[in-house]
Amino acid sequence: MTRTGLEIPEPVRRKALAEGRVGEAWLAGLVGTVLDLADEWGLSLGRTLAGSTEAFVAEVMTADRRPAVLKVDRPGRDPSAGELRTLLAAQGRGYAEVYAYDRACGAILLERLGPQLAELGLSISDKLAILCATLQEAWTIPPEGERFVTGAEKAEGLARFIEVTWLETGRPCSEQTIERALAYAESRRRAFEEDAVLAHGDAHCWNVLLVPGSRLPRFKFVDPDGLFIERAYDLGISMREWAEDLLAGDPVVLGLRRCQRLADLTSVNPGPIWEWGFVERVSTGLLNLRVGLDGAREMLAVADAWAKQSPP
> Nearest Cα to 68, choosing from 39, 26, 111, 29?
111
Residue scoring higher pLDDT (161 or 28)? 161
Residue 291 burial class via C-beta count within 10 angstroms: exposed 0-12, middle 13-18, buried 19 and up: middle
Cα-to-chain-centroid distance, residue 148: 16
Is pLDDT of 2 > 50?
Answer: no
Of 65, 58, 85, 219, which is closest to residue 142 (Cα–Cα)? 85
Domains and CATH numbers, the chain: 10-111 (3.30.200.20), 117-306 (3.90.1200.10)
pLDDT tens-digit readout, 235-259: 999 999 999 999 999 999 999 999 9
Assess whether pLDDT exceeds 60 at residue 224: yes
| pLDDT score recorded for residue 222 | 92
Range 12-21 average pLDDT: 87
SS3 content of the chain, % helix, strand, coil (to 5): 50, 15, 35
- What is the reported pLDDT for 4? 44
What is the pLDDT confidence band of residue 312, given thresholds at 50, 70 and 90?
A: confident
Residue 173: φ, ψ to 5°: -135, 175
Q: Which is more confident, 285 or 82?
A: 285
Assign 218 to helix, strand or coil: coil
pLDDT score at 291: 85
Indicate if the pLDDT at residue 66 is higher than 70.
Answer: yes
Long-range pairs for 51-56: beta carbons < 8 A, 24 or more residues apart: 51/9, 51/116, 51/118, 51/119, 51/206, 52/9, 52/11, 52/12, 53/9, 53/11, 53/12, 53/15, 53/206, 54/11, 54/12, 54/15, 54/223, 55/12, 55/106, 55/223, 56/6, 56/8, 56/12, 56/30
Least confident stretch, 34-38, 50-54, 231-235? 50-54
pLDDT of 52 above 60: yes
pLDDT at 233 over 50: yes
What pLDDT does residue 188 have? 96
What is the pLDDT confidence band of residue 6, given thresholds at 50, 70 and 90? confident
Mean pLDDT in the chain?
A: 92
The SS3 of residue 228 is strand
- Average of per-residue pLDDT across 133-140: 97
